[in-house]
Amino acid sequence: MTHTNIAVIGGGSWATAIVKLLLNNVEKVHWFMRNKDAIDSIKKFGHNPHYLGSIYFDANKLYLSDDLKDVISRADYVILAIPAAFISEALKGITAADFKNKIVFSAIKGIVPENNLIMGDYLKNYFEIPYENIGVIAGPCHAEEVALEKLSYLTMACPDIEKATLMAKLFSCRYLKASVSDDIFGTEYAAVLKNVFALASGISIGLGYGDNYRAVLISCAIQEIERFVQKVHPISRDINSAAYLGDLLVTAYSQFSRNRAFGIMIGKGYSVKYAQIEMNMVAEGYYAAKCIHEINKIYQVDMPITDAVYNILYEKIAPGIEMQILSDKLS
């Protein structure tokens, strides 16, 4: 067990799975949750009442609090696991001074919609955290399989490889293998885009397209990711490695993918609002489609799948019509 002081910010399924993983290697996790009832439930019964209820926590190994400043102050490493659409509200009242000398890893797979920034740039611009103290936790990994202790993989990305390596050690256990990378920009943009493509995959399912079509869709999607990340941050990277292609595959095909599930409902004719209510969870790809569309006005990368998802969600073009147009562009 290590004495590293580490905090997890968030109360959802991914935050819950992260705490489970960390407790294999650290003596205590400082855990911020906004929901006081959830905190009380974990303290009393050892379970998060809203997410991944099969996970049992020894409350003695947790410092649970709804005081965000307090939780951050106790940690050297802070892990953010809040949907990007809500991160600005969640961090309201937190200043650059609160994050001074902290190492912050983002487990967020989205873009901050108010300013179209990935988390690395958001943390740098708004909290003055140097890039060498910013990391990304990339997949491929679903929280539900972590809860079931099925063999899973993560990639820890940070410009400072020593910090990425430490984080990888903190997460590694019998059923989780973690590797390291220095590509925080590529892994983060890839994580954002794979949610958009999982939405496209789900839409195709809802419309009745088959596996043959999805095979082409996803093979074109990884090319789209490569074109975009290479334009935004041109470095040498293997786009076919787990953090990029692997994360795309699991999100596009897994039964646990909320973006895929959201897309299925859209393909079946559900409105965006109704699908959001029905899921009762955040599908990051919904927000990401608009953010990437706006960002790409600058870079002008050929992104037919992203454009199709944007047109369906925001321009209200019928999914059947837009997917038919897209099918003629795929090869």
Half-sphere exposure of 54 (CA within 13 A, CB side): 8
Tell me how far apart the alpha carbons of residues 319 and 169 are, in angstroms, rounded to a whole number.
Answer: 44
- The whole-number pLDDT of residue 205 equals 98
pLDDT given at position 331 = 77
**CA–CA separation, 61 vs 59, rounded Å?**
5
pLDDT tens, per residue, the chain with 331 residues: 666 899 999 999 999 999 999 999 999 999 999 999 999 999 999 999 999 999 999 999 999 999 999 999 999 999 999 999 899 999 999 999 999 999 999 999 889 999 999 999 999 999 999 999 999 999 899 999 999 999 999 999 999 999 999 999 999 999 999 999 999 999 999 999 999 999 999 999 999 999 999 999 999 999 999 999 999 999 999 999 999 999 999 999 999 999 999 999 999 999 988 888 777 777 889 999 999 999 999 999 999 999 999 999 999 999 999 999 999 999 7
Q: Which of 62, 67, 133 is nearest to 99 (CA)?
A: 133
Going along the chain from its start, the domains and CATH numbers come out as 6-182 (3.40.50.720), 187-327 (1.10.1040.10)
Q: What's the pLDDT at 279?
A: 76
Q: What is the pLDDT of residues 107-135, one digit of tens each?
A: 998 899 999 999 999 999 999 999 999 99
CA separation for the pair 89, 120 (Å, rounded): 17
Compute CA distances 185 → 55, 147, 188, 191, whole Å.
32, 28, 5, 10
Measured CA to CA, the distance from residue 214 to residue 199 in angstroms comes to 12
Query: How do strand 6-9 and strand 77-80 relate by DSSP bridges?
Result: parallel
Give pLDDT, residue 298: 96
Q: Tell me the catalytic residues.
A: 194
Q: What is the pLDDT of residue 1?
A: 66
List, in sequence order, every residue forming a beta bridge with 156; answer none if it has no partner: 137, 180
Which of 107, 157, 98 is CA-nearest to residue 133? 157
C-beta separation of 190 from 118 below 8 A? no
ω into residue 113 within 30 of 0, thus cis?
no
Q: How many CB atoms lie within 10 A of CB 52?
A: 20
pLDDT at 90: 95
**177-211 per-position pLDDT tens digit:** 999 999 999 999 999 999 999 999 999 999 999 99
A 10 A CB-CB count for 31 gives 27
